[in-house]
Amino acid sequence: MAVSELMRLFKIIFNMQSIVIVDEYNTPFMSMLHNSRFNESERKNIFDIYMHLLSSILKGNDYLHKSILVSVFNICDVGLGSGFSNVEVYMTHSGLSGISHVPNPFEHAFDFTVSDVWGLIN
């Protein structure tokens, strides 16, 4: 895969492992799931391709230092996280009733605060 090859070249040229950041990594996958024109076989093929892409970047890749996948959906909840180890999930909406009560050490770096939202509204 092209990303894995870029990571290998980065290691050769700079002698450093890569940090991969993918924003909204599962948007194409979720769009496919909600598109009724794909039959079950086609959806399975797309899922397999998606898993192969993520696996080639994230699993057993000696050129990877860390990765960050940013999405609206939890990687484990949508079935894309199976088979990955050392996964930590941080929800932007921790502490909201009924959604997540898991503490998030990065919460200050996500979201708008309540004051920010009211400032935008006003």
Residues 50-66, mean pLDDT to the nearest whole number: 86
The confidence score (pLDDT) of residue 117 equals: 65
pLDDT of residue 92: 63
Residue spans of the domains in the chain: they are 2-89
Q: What is the predicted pLDDT for the residue at 112?
A: 62
Confidence band of 96 (pLDDT split at 50, 70, 90): very low
Of 118, 93, 119, residue with least CA distance to 106: 93
Q: What is the mean pLDDT of residues 103-120?
A: 67
Q: How far apart are CA 72 and CA 24, in angstroms?
A: 7
Q: What is the mean pLDDT of residues 56-79?
A: 79
Report if pTM > 0.85.
no
Strand extents, DSSP E, the chain: 18-23, 64-70
C-alpha–C-alpha distance, residues 41 and 36, integer Å: 12
